[in-house]
């Protein structure tokens, strides 16, 4: 983690899940953390926790909704006004929607695209030039294995993560030799609030993948940070997930469509009582 020593890191979606874990694992190494999410109380609690635990660490927090078109610009402008230069950008903010596309709520779908795609792209666009000018920088974009294979009942979410994978791969190649690295984190299911947010009101569908697919937030983030220090373009935590995902890159599309049907069967449950006994997971 020496690559992050004395750096300034910006983590989006830092009020829960992988965002909190990114903040906790970066805290012992960076000099400054910028945490952003919608929930001020969660950010403030995390700020106090990290500053109390790590002497000399400075934590700034910015409450904002990245589904709103003007938030990314406002966030970057605020960092400039604070005299902060972002060395490490963790584009973690995102959420899903679970269920058939035709019955989806359009407002939720639109907001999901805004956060998962538009905000991530704009923040990268506004912060990247400074990294290139300084000749160093790290960008980690949180994607998903859902971005590597079509996912029935996660159609738009999977499409947004496919964008993140493609965008990250392209930037990784573009920026070769500049000192700036771009890594796409593509985890399988991770215990977070994802399932609760993706679920639809009054739906009997639950997102409950098998336990052997899951990786912990700690492992997902550790693998992402270690991969970024090595300049890895893509990180897929956990061999149980990584091996089949890598194999899918050489499988013909018509076969993958059948595989995606199998994935649907693996992650879907229909017993709300049983689901309540299990922790929600991110994909």
pLDDT digits (tens, 9 = 90+) for 57-72: 999 999 999 999 999 9
pLDDT digits (tens, 9 = 90+) for 206-252: 666 666 668 899 999 999 999 999 999 999 998 767 766 666 666 66
Residues written for the chain: 283
Residues belonging to the active site: 157
Return the structure tokens found at 73. 């610009």
CA distance 66 to 107: 14
H/E stretch holding 234: strand 234-235
Gyration radius from the chain CA atoms: 18
User: Taking a C-beta distance cutoff of 8 angstroms, is the pair 182, 175 a contact?
Assistant: yes
Superfamily of domain 2-282: NAD(P)-binding Rossmann-like Domain (3.40.50.720)
pLDDT digits (tens, 9 = 90+) for 173-208: 999 999 999 999 999 888 766 666 667 776 666 666
Query: Residues 113, 114, 120, 124: is their CA dihedral positive or negative?
Result: positive
How would residue 271 be classed by pLDDT, with cut points 50, 70 and 90? very low
CA distance 271 to 137: 46
User: Taking a C-beta distance cutoff of 8 angstroms, is the pair 177, 136 a contact?
Assistant: no
pTM of the entire predicted model: 0.85
CA distance 212 to 183: 25
The residue extents of the domains of the chain are 2-282
CA distance 35 to 143: 19
């Amino acid at each position: 983690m020496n690559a992050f020593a004395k750096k300034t890191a910006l983590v989006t979606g830092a009020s829960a899940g992988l965002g909190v874990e990114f903040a906790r694992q970066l805290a012992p190494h960076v000099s400054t953390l910028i945490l952003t999410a919608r929930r001020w109380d969660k950010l403030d609690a995390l700020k106090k926790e990290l500053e109390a635990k790590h002497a000399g660490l400075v934590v700034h927090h910015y409450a904002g909704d990245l589904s709103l078109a003007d938030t990314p610009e406002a966030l970057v402008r605020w960092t400039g006004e604070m005299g902060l230069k972002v060395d490490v950008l963790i584009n973690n903010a995102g959420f899903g929607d679970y269920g058939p596309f035709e019955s989806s709520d359009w407002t939720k779908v639109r907001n999901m695209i805004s956060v998962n795609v538009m905000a991530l792209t704009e923040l990268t666009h506004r912060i990247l030039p400074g990294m290139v000018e300084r000749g160093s920088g790290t960008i980690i974009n949180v994607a998903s294995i859902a971005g590597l294979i079509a996912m029935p009942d996660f159609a738009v979410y999977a499409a947004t993560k496919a964008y993140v994978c493609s965008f990250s791969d392209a930037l990784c190649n573009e920026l070769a030799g500049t000192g700036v690295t771009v890594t796409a984190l593509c985890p399988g299911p991770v215990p977070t609030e994802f399932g609760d947010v993706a679920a639809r009101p009054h739906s009997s569908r639950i997102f409950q993948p098998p336990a052997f697919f899951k990786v912990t937030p700690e492992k997902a983030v550790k693998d992402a940070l270690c991969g970024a220090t090595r300049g890895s373009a893509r990180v897929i935590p956990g061999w149980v997930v990584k091996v089949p995902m890598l194999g899918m890159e050489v499988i013909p599309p018509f076969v993958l469509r059948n595989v995606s049907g199998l994935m649907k069967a693996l992650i879907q449950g229909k017993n709300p009582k049983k689901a309540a006994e299990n922790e929600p997971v991110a994909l």
